[in-house]
Structures are given as structure tokens and as C-alpha cells.
Amino acid sequence: MKKGKFIGMGVGPGDPDLLTVKAVKTLNNIDVICAPKSAESKPSLALSIIQSVLNQRINDYITLEPLFPMIEDKNELQEYWKEASKLIIEKLDAGKDVAFITLGDPTLYSTFSYVFKLIYDLDYETEIIPGITSFTGCSAAAKISLAEKDEIVVIVPKVDGRLPQILEHGDTFVIMKTSRHTEKLKEIINGDERNKEIISVQNCSMKDEKVRNGFTEEKNYLSTTIIKFNK
């Protein structure tokens, strides 16, 4: 029996209308959808984004929802990744194609990459379908350009001691998940005397999207702050 293909699929920042044409075509025919969630009682946001597409399907499909808890222990996380890969491999060995859906783009800060490595190393057929990233969605929502000419854009996944060291080397900084470290971010950025524009976006492209000038004070996980230093 021919084994199935493993597909990593970005579903964009939140608005189903931002799904790519290729993603929609694939979702209309895929055998299995893998939609990890961070807690047993918490539904998958990525799955909710593609639900309108799935509702229009004629043929049946299977949904896998492995648990990927938001913990820092890498050894413990590896066990969850291995367990997810086992579920996926079982379907691939049965000849079914599996799409692993993820917010934004699967190649950027996505847990998909860890599972992908495990399956790719076993020589299964694979494919990655890119998606609109959260930060390009945020810049569009804020109606600003991220970069012009030879400006340097820096993507920062976590605010720590590295940020002050690299500020002078970039023109635009995209700070992701800023609700976790707003005060530290404000201290670092306000310590830079250059003129700057600061815009924060929460729940980009969703119904409750918020765009505001300055830093966000709300503790929302899907928060991004864009800092543009003026030349």
C-alpha cells in the first residue's frame, strides 16, 4: 500500500478569508487533519479558522487533536511531539494524507517543525504549504509598511537580555506575544532615545482585533508590538 503524504499547512493569523487558495484546495480533499491544542478543554484555534471550509466538504475526514501543552521543559515536550508523530504515522501508513494545521506560517515559530523533523527523517513524502504570518497581518491591520529600501526587520519571539544588544542593528522590530513581558519591553524601548513609532495589535484579523498606538496593557496571548525607528 502506498503511504500517505504529511503536509504542514499555515492557516494564517485568524481570518478564514486569509487562507491561501492552495490551503483551501488541500483542505477540500485531505484525509486527515491534525490540529494540536494546548489543553484538553481548550479548542484548537487553527481548527476554528478552517471550519467554514470543512463545513462545505462532501467527503468525510478524520481529525486528530494531540495535546501540545504550553510548558518550558523540552524533555517533556519531546514526549508530546513523539506521541503526536505516532498518531500521524499510523494514518500515513494506512495510506491517508495528513495535514498538520498551524497558525500563521508553519516555518516560523511553529511546533509543527518538531513533529515534521521526526516524520521527515523516516522518509515519508512531505510538503509545506506556507501561510500569511501574524506579523505581516499585523502590519496590514495597522496600515504600515514593515520595511522600505534597505531597512532591516528583526523578529523577536521573547524579550530578554538580547534585545538591548541588537536594537541599534535594526530599523523595525516585531515583538511577538508582548503581553508576557510588556513592562520589560517598555523599559528597553523607552531607553532608546531615537524617534520611534510604536503600534500594538491584538487578535490580528479576528472579529475582536484591536490596533492601538503605543504598548498594549491587556494580557492577551495573541499580542504583537511593532516598533519602527525613524531615520
Residue 51 clears pLDDT 90, i.e. is over it? yes
DSSP of 153-181, one letter per residue? EEEESS-STTHHHHGGG-SEEEEESGGGS
10 Å CB burial of residue 118 (0-12, 13-18, 19+) is: middle
Residues 182-190 have a mean pLDDT of: 93
Evaluate whether 14 touches 203 at the Cβ level (below 8 Å).
Answer: yes
Evaluate whether 67 touches 36 at the Cβ level (below 8 Å).
Answer: yes
DSSP of 93-111, one letter per residue? HTT--EEEEESB-TTSS-T
Question: How is the beta sheet containing 98-102 ordered, strand by strand?
Answer: 62-64, 32-34, 98-102, 6-10, 126-129
Residue 52 clears pLDDT 80, i.e. is over it? yes
Residues 21-33 have a mean pLDDT of: 98
Evaluate whether 100 touches 9 at the Cβ level (below 8 Å).
Answer: yes
For the chain, list the domains and their CATH numbers: 6-129 (3.40.1010.10), 134-229 (3.30.950.10)
Residue 112 clears pLDDT 90, i.e. is over it? yes
What pTM does this model have? 0.93
Lowest mean pLDDT among 12-26, 113-127, 173-187: 173-187
